[in-house]
């Protein structure tokens, strides 16, 4: 597995090795030993998958707050996305900063997001499917988010607001400047 750190501590972008033959390919998408070798100590308990019909569909920026925050391992199984992660723990040396990556089914990139960070993506192709592992069960009462187009975060998105496909919930999310983070930095 090829692994490289991002600008945010604890956020890793990996590209599992694909073994090709006449039938196609085989890939090991997750291996706990390999993940632990570059600092991922999450024990995943749930797998999720989304399908976005249209290019320009925006999901996130979402996260789950204590006492049940979630770490995520995200990959694309069909299509491609522009992925965004924002650092939320108070006291973090990269508080409020972001990292972005393009993840594609074709190349098989994955991104690991530790607990306490906001995550979202924008689809770059129609009928894009995203699969991700989480290390804590979904708790809707603890789910929060930030506006995808927050001017404070100034995230470059591959879609203009008028063309973005958003949920009703996403349209109501607040700004980073007004958010009081329940996360505290304890190192990563």
Which residues does the annotation mark as catalytic?
Answer: 62, 132
Phi and psi angles of residue 159, each rounded to the nearest 5 degrees, phi first: -140, 140
d(CA 145, CA 37): 31
Neighbours of 5 (CB within 10 A): 14
**Total Cβ atoms within 10 A of residue 140:** 6
What angle is formed at CA 42 by the lines to CA 40 and CA 44, rounded to 5 degrees?
Answer: 130
d(CA 43, CA 45): 6
Q: Are residues 11 and 24 in contact, defined by beta-carbon separation less than 8 angstroms?
A: no
Sign of CA dihedral 178, 112, 122, 127: negative
């Amino acid at each position: 597995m090829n692994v490289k750190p991002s600008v945010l501590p604890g956020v890793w972008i990996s590209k599992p090795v694909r073994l090709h033959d006449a039938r196609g390919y085989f890939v090991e998408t997750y291996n706990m030993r390999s993940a632990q070798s570059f600092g991922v100590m999450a024990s995943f308990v749930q797998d999720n998958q989304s399908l976005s019909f249209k290019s320009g569909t925006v999901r996130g920026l979402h996260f789950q707050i204590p006492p049940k925050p979630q770490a995520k391992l995200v990959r694309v199984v069909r299509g491609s996305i522009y992925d965004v992660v924002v650092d939320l723990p108070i006291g973090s040396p990269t508080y409020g900063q972001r990292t972005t990556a393009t993840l594609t089914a074709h190349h098989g990139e994955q991104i690991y997001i530790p607990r306490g960070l906001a995550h979202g993506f924008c689809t770059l192709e129609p009928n894009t499917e995203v699969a991700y592992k989480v290390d804590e069960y979904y708790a809707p009462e603890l789910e929060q988010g930030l506006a995808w187009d927050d001017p404070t975060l100034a995230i470059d998105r591959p879609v203009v607001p008028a063309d973005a496909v958003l949920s009703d919930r996403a349209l109501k999310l607040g700004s980073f400047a007004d958010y009081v983070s329940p996360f505290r930095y304890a190192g990563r």
